[in-house]
Structure 1
């Protein structure tokens, strides 16, 4: 289901340049724990479990993407972790959904990590943060990330894609969406 059709999500997730958002659930237990172990504990095998949970969503979309585009990380963060979390997730989702991954489509310049900043700082941080290297020949693509917090990263990347391919359909696929501030403490909240 396209989460942008839910007013409680579309009101706080920036989505001017993409048309669909798919996620397994809110960034709360158990997803927050598993994503943290995956990204910061280098438990890359956790990505298989997360992708398996995501896989049923692939059949719920009316226009499947032709390629998965993982969100790039700065080179310094890649060398620190020795992997790109979005790239690993995209590879695992590809195995379940049979959609090829197009790596190396964009690069990210060094900057502060998005998860350490508030909403307005995220917007500022993303100005000129990315560069598109090359895009696949496709009419529909999905940007893949682990967590969508404000939608700023996905929207910035979607804008760069649209500047080169104005007619392309762009979706965002993530494992989790951060709940709106008013819902963060509501443990009963679910997608």
Structure 2
């Protein structure tokens, strides 16, 4: 997977560590994450050193010239305060049913409005890398789920079909999920495949979305941990995440659950970059 993510990661390093301008307005200086309201804590020193080492190893001729500049830039962030506050509206979580008496809570990082709508579309449909820093900044506003860490949780990115991957040439949701994985320090698990050949969900009603996703997902292996964090780029009605959650639930849970052993079973939550209408 990292083979496909390397070009995007390099672009993000350049935007975050060498470019002092806000990645949205391009006017004001970017602001450290720690100084922004509702921001997740900045990277640890260990993560900073690791990122710097990886970046410099690909550009040995720049080591002497840029080492001090890079070290000073690690807390500079990606957006200025003005632009951050224009998008930092954490939507209220909403629930969808995935089984009788079982709900799937869905939390998005922001709303699917300007400028996020344009940025997501540009990245998703045209592979516009210049929009990726804005999307990454927004993802960082999602606090890591309480009690979840690398040893007990995995992120499950919304799978795509092989046909769509070939047509598009890259996997935008997986790229975003990889950035969330790095932010939360929780690994990605790719044990679900998309077996449908459905049409795009854009413009469909909720009933049409659910019908369009019938039998769309199948597990290829047993989840390695008990906490599964589903992720998609945009949650409109939550139908795609609901179908994914239903597939995982139905293929991992027994038909009856003894409440006294409820902790022995899987706990599923869902997250998205943006919530709103795609019509």
Distance in 2 (CA, whole Å) between partners of 1:63 and 1:38 is 32
Alignment CA distance shift 1:127-1:149 (3 Å)? same
CA contact (8 A) 2:109 2:274 kept: yes
For normalisation by structure 2, the TM-score amounts to 0.56
Count of paired positions:
172
- Structure 2 partner of 1:64: 148
Q: Which has the higher contact order (CA 8 A, sep 6+)?
A: 1
Larger radius of gyration: 2
Q: State the match for 1:21 in structure 2.
A: 106
Closer, same or farther: CA 85–104 of 1 in aligned 2, 3 Å: farther
125, 139, 145: which one aligns with 2:226: 139
Contact 2:108 2:274 in 1 (8 A): yes
Q: Which residue of 1 aligns with 2:207?
A: 120
TM-score, normalization by structure 1: 0.79
Matched-pair contact (CA < 8 Å) for 1:55–1:96: yes
Contact 1:2 1:20 in 2 (8 A): no
Q: Is the 8 A contact 1:142 1:172 kept in 2?
A: yes
> Displacement, 1:43?
1.8
- Partner of residue 7, structure 1: none
Name structure 2 gaps, 5 residues minimum.
1-89, 254-264
The CA deviation at 1:48 is 4.3
Selected match of 1:95 from 173, 182, 190: 182
How far off its partner does 1:44 sit?
A: 4.2
Q: 1:29 to 1:106 in 2, by over 3 A?
A: same
Partner deviation per Cα, 1:118-157 (whole Å, 9 max, x = no partner)? 2221111111122221242211111111000111111111
Question: Is residue 107–residue 132 contact of structure 1 (8 Å, CA) maintained in 2?
Answer: no
Structure 2 counterpart of 1:188: none
- Residues 5-49 of structure 1 show CA distances to partners (whole Å, capped at 9, x for unaligned) of xxxxx3xxx611354322121111111111001101112463443
